[in-house]
Amino acid sequence: AQTVTQSQPEMSVQEAETVTLSCTYDTSESDYYLFWYKQPPSRQMILVIRQEAYKQQNATENRFSVNFQKAAKSFSLKISDSQLGDAAMYFCAYRHRDSGTYKYIFGTGTRLKVLA
């Protein structure tokens, strides 16, 4: 069964500094998608970045980038030049196809605090 593990329940970073959030997953599939979602206090789940497993190049989106290590089944999120607005719960998710439907398997989340 597919699982997603986020081992850091909470992280803190100083404003303007860089922080890395960890995510590991377990799967026997070779083709899949991985995502990082941000859930600020407003509760909206916002897609931050996604990675297709068949692409070796790490995805980047402005200040957000991933370190995708397929063999190690690791998918960490790096936030550069952290801003106060980055404070949120971050969820790593794996998109899994089961019986014809795509379902997202989420990790337990990492709460990111940004210190002024």
Partner 1 sequence: EPEVTQTPSHQVTQMGQEVILRCVPISNHLYFYWYRQILGQKVEFLVSFYNNEISEKSEIFDDQFSVERPDGSNFTLKIRSTKLEDSAMYFCASSLELSNIQYFGAGTRLSVL
CB atoms under 10 Å from CB of 97, counted, come to 12
Task: Give the span between the Cα atoms of 39 and 37, in whole angstroms.
Answer: 7
Rank residues 51 and 82 by Cβ distance to partner 1 and give the closer one: 51
Task: Give the span between the Cα atoms of 25 and 4, in whole angstroms.
Answer: 4
Burial of 7 (0-12, 13-18, 19+ CB in 10 A): exposed
Rank residues 21 and 93 by Cβ distance to partner 1 and give the closer one: 93
Q: Which of 32, 36, 91, 94 binds partner 1 (CB under 8 A)?
A: 91
Residues in contact with partner 1, shown as a per-residue x/- string from 10 to 49 under the rule CB under 8 A: -------------------------x-x----xxxxxx--
Is residue 57 part of the contact set for partner 1 (CB under 8 A)?
no
Footprint of partner 1 (CB under 8 A):
35, 37, 42-47, 50, 91, 93, 98-109
